[in-house]
């Protein structure tokens, strides 16, 4: 059975959740308080979704979010004990952008050279 996916995006003001169910699409979006009153509230919510739908769940946490990077211990505590048979937690970070090559960028475009080469190649040249 394919798992459901829930994205967890913590911000300083709130926690945003988005639940997708295979073959059914987006089913739930929520904006919750940034800090739950009960420490297990987020875990209980994810467990309830598994119980409600009867499917496994993959929770993807935005590890680049400022709240997560400022308080990693809190987020590890809130979600740390969830990895199990029905719930898997993944921490996701966007890959860093590659630095732009300033030397080659200053040389300008090579469109004309590319066209010349494609013309020559079209005539059977290597």
Rounded Cα–Cα distance for residues 63 and 3 (Å) = 21
Q: What is the pLDDT of residues 97-107, one digit of tens each?
A: 666 666 655 56
Answer yes or no: is pLDDT of 78 > 70. Answer: no
pLDDT at 108: 62
Would you say domain 4-95 falls under CATH 3.40.50.2020? no
More confident residue, 16 or 11: 16
pLDDT at 77: 66
pLDDT digits (tens, 9 = 90+) for 15-70: 899 999 999 999 999 999 988 898 888 889 999 999 999 999 998 887 777 666 67
CA–CA separation, 44 and 50 (whole Å): 10
Distances (CA, A) of 16 to 64, 87, 90, 118: 14, 18, 16, 50
pLDDT of residue 115 exceeding 90: no
Indicate the domain borders of the chain: 4-95
Output 93 or 8, whichever has higher pLDDT.
Answer: 8
pLDDT of residue 103: 61
The pLDDT-based confidence of 123 (bands split at 50, 70, 90) is: low
């Amino acid at each position: 059975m394919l798992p459901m996916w829930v994205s967890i995006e913590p911000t300083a003001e709130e926690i945003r959740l988005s639940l997708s169910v295979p073959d059914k699409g987006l089913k739930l979006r929520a904006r919750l308080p940034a800090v739950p009153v009960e420490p297990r509230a987020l875990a209980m919510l994810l467990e309830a979704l598994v119980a409600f739908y009867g499917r496994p769940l993959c929770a993807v946490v935005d590890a680049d979010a400022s709240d997560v990077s400022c308080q990693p211990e809190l987020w590890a505590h809130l979600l740390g004990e969830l990895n199990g048979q029905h719930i898997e937690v993944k921490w996701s970070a966007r890959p860093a952008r590659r630095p732009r090559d300033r030397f080659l960028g200053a040389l300008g475009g090579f469109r004309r050279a590319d066209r010349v080469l494609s013309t020559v190649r079209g005539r059977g040249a290597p």
